[in-house]
Amino acid sequence: MSQLKEKLKGIKLVPVVTPYSVDGTVELAKTLVSSGINAIEITLRTELALEATQAVKGSGIDIVLGVGTLTSVQDVENVAALGVDFAVSPGLTPKILEAAVAQKLDLLPGVSSASEVLLGMEYGFDFFKVFPAEAVNAYGLIKSFGAVFPQAHFCPTGGVNLANINRYLSLPSILCAGGTWILPADDVKAGNWDKIEALCKEAVAHIESGKMD
């Protein structure tokens, strides 16, 4: 198992955040680490996303740093230049896969079908994001993938929450799950770090309990 897989398997929950300020994103990363979550996926959904990612990278915070919502070759090249730990795309195309290979970028391509998994594997990828998880019944989908793609691992994202995350994590091919419920947009914008820390600690405790509702 790759080093990235081992790290994310140990962390289990990857918080997915839309960055609204550079300093705020750095503070958020600090809050996640202090809450026991050592990973973050910063999405390319605002103009300052790359700058915020670079700030977190340069802050010295011990966190597994990822960037999400890569939708073009240019995104792949921009993110690879930052030297992040991983990147995530909501889907996949041959051009995006080729660019990630060329840039030696640890990409989790987005999939929601067996054909997309096969395409990703043709380019050497075996760790995928399944998106949008709840909308495509990712639990059933990934469970079915197990016998067909035993070498593949997955990170479901989209609709994952406190009530269903342990169900996802019960599948051996799921190493981690992406979640936004612990990072409400209004609280991120306002810098309500105490509230976010409480939500994160609740999530960590719940995952450690293994309880499935």
Catalytic annotation on 189?
A: no
Asked if 79 and 42 count as a contact pair (C-beta separation under 8 A), the reply is no
The pLDDT confidence band at residue 56, using thresholds 50, 70 and 90, is: very high
Asked if 156 and 177 count as a contact pair (C-beta separation under 8 A), the reply is yes
What are phi and psi for residue 132, nearest 5 degrees?
-80, 120
Catalytic annotation on 41?
A: yes
The pLDDT confidence band at residue 1, using thresholds 50, 70 and 90, is: confident
Q: What b-and-e string marks burial along 57-88, b requiring 16 or more CB atoms within 10 Å of the CB?
A: beeebebbbbbbbbeebebbebbbebebbbbb
- Segment 9-15 shows an average pLDDT of 98
Query: Residue 132: is the preceding peptide bond cis (ω within 30°)?
Result: yes
Catalytic site residue from 5, 12, 30, 41: 41
Q: Is the pTM of this model over 0.95?
A: yes
Antiparallel, parallel or unpaired: β 153-156 and 177-179: unpaired
Domains and CATH numbers, the chain: 3-206 (3.20.20.70)
Catalytic site residue from 129, 134, 197, 211: 129
pLDDT tens per residue across span 168-197 = 999 999 999 999 999 999 999 999 999 999
What are phi and psi for residue 155, nearest 5 degrees?
-130, 95
The pLDDT confidence band at residue 69, using thresholds 50, 70 and 90, is: very high
